[in-house]
Structure 1
Amino acid sequence: MASTKPSIERLPTGVPGFDKLIQGGIPRGFFVAVVGEPGTGKTIFSIHFIAEGIRQGDKNIYVTTEETRESIIKQAAMFGFDFEKAIDDGKLVIIDALMGRHDDPWSLTELDVETLVNKIIEAKRYLGYGRARLVIDSMSAFWLDKPAMARRYSYYVKRILARWDFTALLTSQYAVTTSLGFGFGIEHVADGIIRFRKAVVRGELRRYVIIEKMRQTEHSLRMHEIEIRDGVGMRVKAPTQLRKEDTALPQSVAAKMLAAELQKLLEVPLGDEE
Structure 2
Amino acid sequence: MRMPIERISSGIVELDRCLQNGFPSGYVINVRGEPGAGKTLFVTQVATKNAERGLKTVYVSFLEDREKFIAAASTLLPQVRKHVESDIISYVELSSVTQAGVSPLMELVLERVDSVEPSILVFDSYSAVVQALGSEAEGRALLNNLFSRIFSKRKVTTLIITEGDQNDFVSYVADGIIRMSRKSEPTSYRILEILKMRSVPLDESKFLFVFEKGRGLRVFRPFNATLSKKLKPRSAIQEKKKGYYSTGSRSLDAVIGGYQKGSLVLWEMGRDVPQLAFYSVVLLAAANFLVQERGVLIIPSLEFTRESLTPFVYPNKELFERNTRLFMDNVPQDSELFVQLTGDMERDLEKWNEVYEGFKKRGVPVLKVVSLDTLEHIYGKEKSVNLVRRAYLKTSHYKDVTLLLAKPGLEITEEVRYMAHTRLSLRFVDGYLLFKGLSPYTTDYLYEPRFSKGYPEVRLFEIN
Q: TM-score, normalised by structure 1?
A: 0.72
Q: Does 1:119 align with 2:88?
A: no
Deviation at 1:224, TM superposition (A): 1.1
How far, CA to CA, are the matches of 1:184 and 1:112 in structure 2?
Answer: 22
Deviation at 1:69, TM superposition (A): 1.6
Q: CA contact under 8 A between 1:135 and 1:170: conserved in structure 2?
A: yes
The amino acid across from 1:137 in the alignment is D
- Mark the CA change 1:154 to 1:201 in structure 2 (over 3 Å): closer, same or farther: same
Q: Which has the higher contact order (CA 8 A, sep 6+)?
A: 1
Deviation at 1:212, TM superposition (A): 0.9
Deviation at 1:228, TM superposition (A): 1.0
Match of 1:218 among 188, 201, 213: 201
Deviation at 1:23, TM superposition (A): 1.1
Q: TM-score, normalised by structure 2?
A: 0.44
Aligned residue for 2:119?
132
How far, CA to CA, are the matches of 2:176 and 2:216 in structure 1?
Answer: 23
Aligned residue for 1:195?
179
- Mark the CA change 1:81 to 1:121 in structure 2 (over 3 Å): closer, same or farther: farther
- Mark the CA change 1:124 to 1:151 in structure 2 (over 3 Å): closer, same or farther: closer
Aligned residue for 1:5?
none
Q: Which runs of 5+ in 2 are unaligned?
A: 224-428, 432-464
Same amino acid, percent of matched pairs: 27
Aligned residue for 1:254?
none
- Mark the CA change 1:229 to 1:188 in structure 2 (over 3 Å): closer, same or farther: same
* DSSP 3-state at the match of 1:226: strand
The amino acid across from 1:194 in the alignment is I
- Mark the CA change 1:242 to 1:155 in structure 2 (over 3 Å): closer, same or farther: farther
The amino acid across from 2:34 in the alignment is E
Q: CA contact under 8 A between 2:45 and 2:77: conserved in structure 1?
A: no
How far, CA to CA, are the matches of 1:115 and 1:81 in structure 2?
Answer: 33
The answer to which of 62-71 and 30-39 deviates more is: 62-71
Q: Flag the structure with larger Rg.
A: 2
Deviation at 1:120, TM superposition (A): 2.0
Q: Does 1:87 align with 2:76?
A: no
How far, CA to CA, are the matches of 1:70 and 1:152 in structure 2?
Answer: 30
Taking the TM superposition and a 5 Å limit, the aligned residue runs for 1:1-274 are 9-98=6-95, 100=96, 108=97, 110=99, 112-127=101-116, 129=117, 132-144=119-131, 145-147=134-136, 150-162=139-151, 163-174=153-164, 180-181=165-166, 183-202=167-186, 204-239=187-222, 242=430
Q: CA contact under 8 A between 1:134 and 1:169: conserved in structure 2?
A: yes
The amino acid across from 2:162 in the alignment is S
Per-residue displacement from partner, 1:42-72 (whole Å, max 9, x unpaired)?
A: 1111011110221111121111122222122
Q: CA contact under 8 A between 1:211 and 1:220: conserved in structure 2?
A: no
- Mark the CA change 1:153 to 1:117 in structure 2 (over 3 Å): closer, same or farther: closer
The amino acid across from 1:172 in the alignment is T
Q: What is the RMSD computed on CA atoms of the aligned residues?
A: 2.4
How far, CA to CA, are the matches of 2:100 and 2:221 in structure 1?
Answer: 39
How far, CA to CA, are the matches of 1:109 and 1:233 in structure 2?
Answer: 30
Aligned residues: 219
Deviation at 1:39, TM superposition (A): 1.2
* DSSP 3-state at the match of 1:186: helix
Deviation at 1:112, TM superposition (A): 3.6
* DSSP 3-state at the match of 1:239: coil
How far, CA to CA, are the matches of 2:100 and 2:174 in structure 1?
Answer: 21
